[in-house]
Amino acid sequence: MSVQLFDTLDQPLDATILPFVKLQPILGSSIVRVKFVEGLDHMLEGLALGETSVSFTTTAAVRSTVVNVQVFAPLKVSPRNVTLVIGATLQVVSKPFPPTFIYLFIYN
């Protein structure tokens, strides 16, 4: 999750402003945890199944829009390892299947 900050003229601010604004997450419940990555990037970690909301606020009482978050059970993809020749296809099975689209990205 990346947070974007804008000044009063709607110009984007970079991460060098963070020591002055003290960006803090506001969680709708305790089913997720926000971890700082670097700059304006944060990672959400699901702790329990369910739905919640996340927003951010600053010391100047500026608050972001609320983002709704859903936490699903861990996804198991089968087969775990596969080797394909160029042009081959493979059908992947996932369990449990959440009621949404899943995008799988495969890297070398």
Average pLDDT of the residues of the chain: 81
**Among 10-19, 22-31, 94-103, whose mean pLDDT is lowest?**
94-103
The count of C-alpha atoms lying within 13 angstroms of the C-alpha of 13, restricted to the half-sphere facing its C-beta, is 16
- Stretch 16-31: mean pLDDT: 85
Encode pLDDT of 84-98 as tens digits.
Answer: 888 888 877 777 665
In a domain? residue 93: no
pLDDT of residue 53: 93
The encoded tokens of residue 48 equal: 């329990």
pLDDT of residue 68: 92
In a domain? residue 85: no
- Report the number of distinct structural domains present in the chain: 1
Q: Are the beta carbons of 59 and 17 closer than 8 angstroms?
A: no
Q: Are the beta carbons of 53 and 18 closer than 8 angstroms?
A: no
pTM of the model: 0.63
| Full residue range of the structural domain in which residue 35 is found | 5-71
